[in-house]
């Protein structure tokens, strides 16, 4: 039996909450919707029904379950309703589940377009081949602890030298190793990954197109990434 320091009442409440989250995700169509929302955008019910390959009426029921499970939130704008992940903690949970799941199957040959594999967004951080190369370089330079769960002193200094400001009061993880679905290797997630993406965009090293996940690395960005991360 699992022993916990929580009081019996709190322990029971935690167990019920965990069961509710698990139940909300216990359907392939709902998992497809959560994975689609990992691009960080807000999607309509119609768009999510297409992603999950279900009828709009069926999608409505799935979305209600996800909202009730506090995994997604619903935003109303005019006559339209949009859905997005409820927060960074949900995105990190989905990332971890994707990584755990890939370890249980034979990785299929990816059919993703080359532009998507090269560079794209993963919720609020950079993903794709470029992101994996940056992560590998940070590991080689000693910026990250072995499992990617924290910046080292060298890493914090490296971020400061690049001009990347970290939010010391952030409630989420400082950083984490996020499994890249196209590369089957890790890229940088967490607060550090989000701060890096913002920095790359502000410097003009990458360009994002509204409504799309693909990211274009500019000429100046290629030079900068080669200089700092040998990409």
Q: What is the pLDDT of residues 156-166, one digit of tens each?
A: 999 999 999 88
Residue the block writes with tokens 């994002």: 208
**Domain match, 68 and 176 both:** no
Q: Is residue 158 part of a domain?
A: yes
pLDDT in tens, 83-99: 989 887 888 788 778 76
Contacts of 68 (CB under 8 A, 6+ apart): 24
Cα–Cα distance for residue pair 7/196, rounded to 1 Å: 41
67 C-beta neighbours (distance < 10 Å), count: 15
Tell which residue, 143, 192, 187, has the closest CA to residue 164.
Answer: 192
**Domain match, 121 and 36 both:** no
170 C-beta neighbours (distance < 10 Å), count: 14
pLDDT in tens, 199-221: 999 999 999 877 778 899 999 99
**Domain match, 69 and 106 both:** no
The predicted model gives 50-60 an average pLDDT of 93
Cα–Cα distance for residue pair 131/111, rounded to 1 Å: 19
Cα–Cα distance for residue pair 163/32, rounded to 1 Å: 37
**Domain match, 185 and 109 both:** yes
Q: Is residue 223 part of a domain?
A: yes
Place 144 in a pLDDT band, splitting at 50, 70 and 90. very high
**Domain match, 180 and 70 both:** no
Cα–Cα distance for residue pair 34/56, rounded to 1 Å: 16
**Domain match, 143 and 187 both:** yes
Cα–Cα distance for residue pair 88/198, rounded to 1 Å: 16
> Residue 209 in 3-state DSSP?
coil
Q: What is the pTM of this model?
A: 0.65
Q: Is 173 in contact with 190 (CB distance < 8 Å)? A: yes
Q: Which of 62, 86, 110 is the last residue of a domain?
A: 86
Provide the token pair at 159.
């971020």
Provide the token pair at 95.
């990332």
> What value does the mean pLDDT of the chain take?
86
Q: Is 132 in contact with 231 (CB distance < 8 Å)? A: no
Q: What is the DSSP letter of 105?
A: S
Q: Is 172 in contact with 92 (CB distance < 8 Å)? A: yes
**Domain match, 82 and 94 both:** no
Helices 8-25 and 56-68 pack at an angle, to 10 degrees, of 160
**Domain match, 199 and 131 both:** yes
**Domain match, 82 and 106 both:** no
Cα–Cα distance for residue pair 91/214, rounded to 1 Å: 19
Phi, psi (degrees; rounded to nearest 5) at 122: -130, 95
Percent of the chain at pLDDT > 70 equals 89
**Domain match, 156 and 81 both:** no
* Count of domains for the chain: 2
The predicted model gives 129-138 an average pLDDT of 96
pLDDT of res. 137: 97
**Domain match, 203 and 218 both:** yes
Query: Which CATH number do you get for residue 77?
Result: 1.10.10.10
**Which domain, by its residues, includes 68?**
8-86
pLDDT of res. 200: 97
Place 1 in a pLDDT band, splitting at 50, 70 and 90. very low
**Domain match, 18 and 119 both:** no
From first CA to last CA, the distance across the chain in angstroms is 49
Cα–Cα distance for residue pair 40/213, rounded to 1 Å: 9
The predicted model gives 57-81 an average pLDDT of 90
């Amino acid at each position: 039996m699992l022993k916990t320091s929580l009081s019996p009442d709190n322990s029971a409440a935690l167990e019920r909450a965990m069961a509710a989250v698990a139940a909300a995700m216990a359907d392939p169509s709902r998992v497809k919707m959560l994975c689609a929302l990992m691009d960080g955008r807000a999607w309509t019910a119609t768009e999510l029904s297409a992603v999950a390959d279900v009828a709009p009426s069926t999608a409505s029921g799935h979305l209600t379950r996800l909202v009730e499970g506090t995994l997604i939130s619903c935003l109303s704008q005019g006559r339209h309703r949009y859905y997005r992940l409820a927060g960074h903690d949900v995105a990190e949970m989905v990332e971890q589940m994707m990584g755990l799941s890939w370890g249980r199957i034979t990785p299929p040959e990816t059919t993703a377009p080359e532009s998507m594999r090269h560079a794209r967004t993963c919720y609020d951080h950079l993903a794709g081949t470029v992101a994996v190369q940056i992560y590998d370089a940070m590991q080689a330079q000693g910026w990250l602890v072995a499992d990617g769960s924290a910046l080292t002193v060298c890493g914090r200094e490296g971020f400061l030298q690049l001009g990347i400001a970290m939010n010391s009061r952030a409630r989420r993880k400082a950083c984490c190793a996020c499994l890249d679905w196209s590369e089957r290797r890790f890229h940088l997630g967490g607060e550090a990954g989000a701060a890096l993406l913002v920095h790359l965009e502000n410097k003009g090293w990458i360009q994002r197109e509204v409504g799309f996940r693909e990211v274009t690395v500019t000429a100046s960005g290629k030079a900068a990434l080669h200089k700092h991360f040998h990409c």
